[in-house]
Structure 1
C-alpha cells in the first residue's frame, strides 16, 4: 500500500460481531494490485467477547489499516451511521464500501477503477459495477438482483478491455433493481453533497443512497464486471439487520425510501419509479395485515396503495377488505348483544 498522505481511494469496511467473515473481506481489499488506497475499518459496537478476535486479525495488518471502534450498543449504531463515520474520517478522493460478510473477487478492481476514472475528461461522481449473490449453502442465485440486467438490456460488452461506460439515469432505470453498496464508488465530495447515507434507515439504506446518487450525479460510469461476492443473508439466522428486522418494520423503512424519492427527486422518471415502489409496498403491507386478520388496517393500506397507482383489480380487492372489515365488526356486535 502506498504511503502517500492523500490516497486516491478510501475503502470503508463496517463490521459488528463477525470477525471471521470480516477477515475475508479485509483480505480481499488488501490483495488488490493497486497501491494508492487506505482501508478504514469501523467496528460498530461489537460485543466485548469479540474484540480480542478483531485485534488478532488486525495485528497482522496494523500498518495498512485504520481501525476505529464505536461504543457498544445492543443493536449497534446502524450500517448507515457506521459507513458515514468511516466516510467522515476518510482521506481518499473516492469512497469505496464493502460489507463485512462479503468480499471482492476481482483483485484488479481498484486499478481498473483508477484507470477508468482517470480516462474521463470530466470528474466522475459515481462508479457502478456488479456482483454475484450466493445462498448460505454456497449455491449461486440465478436471478438478477441488482443492475446486472443492464449488460444485456443496454448491450454492454464486459469482455473488451474491462471498459466502463458513461451512463445516464434514464439508462440505469432500465434495470429492475438497484446497485448494492459494495458496487458503488462515490467521489468523496459528491458523497458529502448528497449528505451520505440516511442514518434513520436500518434496511435497504443502499437503495436509498443509490436513488439519491443517480438523481443528482453529473457523470456516472457503469462497469459490467462482476467484482464482488455477496452472501445472501440466511433468513433463519438473526445476525444481521436484514434478517433481524421484523417484516412490517422492513416495509416501513422501504416506504420512507420511496416517499423521499417522490418528494425530493429531481427527475420525473425516478419519481415514477418511487411511486410504483410505494404502491407495491402499501399493497404488500395490506396483504400481510389481512393474513393477520387485521382487516381494518389492511383496508386502510389497500386504499392508500390504490390512490398511488390505480388498477381495477386492486380496487376490487380494496372493496373486499372494506366489506370484510364491516362484516367482522357487525359479527362482533351481534356476539356482544347475544352475550348481553
Structure 2
C-alpha cells in the first residue's frame, strides 16, 4: 500500500548494491521530480552492513516518499539486477513503473510528470526518451538513444508538445537497436506484469533489452519523449565491463534472443529476437577465433546463420570461414 493509502501515479525502482555515493546522486535526481504523487523503492540487493546503514540514512533524508527494501541479511548473495527490480515492482503501487540504475541519474525534473500525463492522454503503454551518455564525467554522445532524426521519421505528432507516437514499423526497428534501456522508459504496470517482468536468468545488461523487446511486442502504443531524460554512465575503457566480460555478455545476449523468440507473439519481434541471437553468435565466433579455437568459432558462425538467415549473415560466414582457414594454414607452417 502506498503512503497515502491509495494507488499512486508512478513507482520508481532503483536496485543497488554497495554503491552509496552513486546511489545518492541517482536518488536525489528522482527526488527533484515535480510529479506530485509518486513513490521511490530502493531495493538493496545484499550490500554490506555499513553500506546498508548509509542507505537507511539516505531514505530518511530524502523523505517519506522513499522506501528501502532491505536484503535478507547484509552481504548476502543477491538476486541480481533483474531479481531486485522484480522485487521492487511487486512492492510498487503506482499505475506506471520507472526504473533507474544506481549509477545513472535523471536530468529532466519534469520527465516523470510529463511521461505519465502523456501515457494517460494517449492511452499508450510505454514511453521512452533521449539519453545523454558520458564517460568519466565527459559527454560522449548528447543524443544516444536512439538517433533523434531516425525517431522523428518513424513517429508522428500527438498534439502534446515534445511527445510523439511511434509507428508500428519503427517500434519494430527499435527492437533491433541496442540502445533501449529501462532508465529512460516508463511502462504501464499492468503491461509489465503481463509480460512477466525482468527475466531473472539474465544479467550484463541483456535483461534490459530482453524486457524492452517483450514490452514493445505487447504495448498498445509507444510514445517518444524528445528531451534527454537520462544521464547514462558508460563503462571506463579497459574496465572489466569492457573487456573481460565480453564473452559472457555475448552468451547472455544469445540467451536473451532465445527467450524473446519464445515469448513474443508478433512475428516481427520474433524476427528481432532471432537477429539479436545471430548478432551474439557472431560475437562469440569472433571471440573464439581470436582465442585460436577454430572449431568452436566455426560452430558459432554456422549457428548465427541458422538463427537468422540473411545476406549479411552469409557474407559474415564466408568471410569468417576464409579467415579461419587462413589461420589454420598459418599454424601448420613449420
Q: Which runs of 5+ in 2 are unaligned?
A: none
In structure 1, how many angstroms separate the alpha carbons of the residues matched to 2:301 and 2:143? Answer: 29
In our comparison, the structure showing a higher alpha carbon Rg is 1
- Using structure 2 for the length normalisation, give the TM-score: 0.86
2:78 to 72, 76, 79: 76
| Offset at residue 223 of structure 1 (A) | 1.7
In structure 1, how many angstroms separate the alpha carbons of the residues matched to 2:155 and 2:164? Answer: 11
Mark the CA change 1:132 to 1:286 in structure 2 (over 3 Å): closer, same or farther: same
Structure-1 residue corresponding to 2:133: 133
| Offset at residue 132 of structure 1 (A) | 1.1
What are the within-5 Å matches in structure 2 for residues 205-284 of structure 1? 205-238=207-240, 242=241, 246-284=245-283
Structure-2 residue corresponding to 1:15: 16
What do residues 12-54 of structure 1 show as CA deviations (whole Å, max 9, x unaligned)? 1111111111111111111111111111110111122322322
Mark the CA change 1:85 to 1:171 in structure 2 (over 3 Å): closer, same or farther: same
Mark the CA change 1:255 to 1:179 in structure 2 (over 3 Å): closer, same or farther: same
| Offset at residue 179 of structure 1 (A) | 2.1
In structure 2, how many angstroms separate the alpha carbons of the residues matched to 1:130 and 1:73? Answer: 35
| Offset at residue 192 of structure 1 (A) | 0.7
Matched-pair contact (CA < 8 Å) for 2:59–2:67: no
Greater mean alpha carbon deviation, residues 48-57 or residues 186-195? 48-57
- Using structure 1 for the length normalisation, give the TM-score: 0.85
In structure 2, how many angstroms separate the alpha carbons of the residues matched to 1:52 and 1:256? Answer: 37
In structure 1, how many angstroms separate the alpha carbons of the residues matched to 2:265 and 2:147? Answer: 21
- Specify the SS of the correspondent of 2:200: coil
| Offset at residue 272 of structure 1 (A) | 2.5
| Offset at residue 206 of structure 1 (A) | 0.9
| Offset at residue 142 of structure 1 (A) | 5.8
Structure-2 residue corresponding to 1:182: 183
What are the within-5 Å matches in structure 2 for residues 152-171 of structure 1? 152-154=152-154, 162-171=161-170
In structure 1, how many angstroms separate the alpha carbons of the residues matched to 2:160 and 2:220? Answer: 25
Mark the CA change 1:227 to 1:323 in structure 2 (over 3 Å): closer, same or farther: closer
1:314 matched to 2:317? The reply is yes
In structure 1, how many angstroms separate the alpha carbons of the residues matched to 2:327 and 2:228? Answer: 49
Mark the CA change 1:287 to 1:245 in structure 2 (over 3 Å): closer, same or farther: closer
In structure 1, how many angstroms separate the alpha carbons of the residues matched to 2:217 and 2:179? Answer: 13
What are the within-5 Å matches in structure 2 for residues 115-126 of structure 1? 115-120=117-122, 122=123, 124-126=124-126
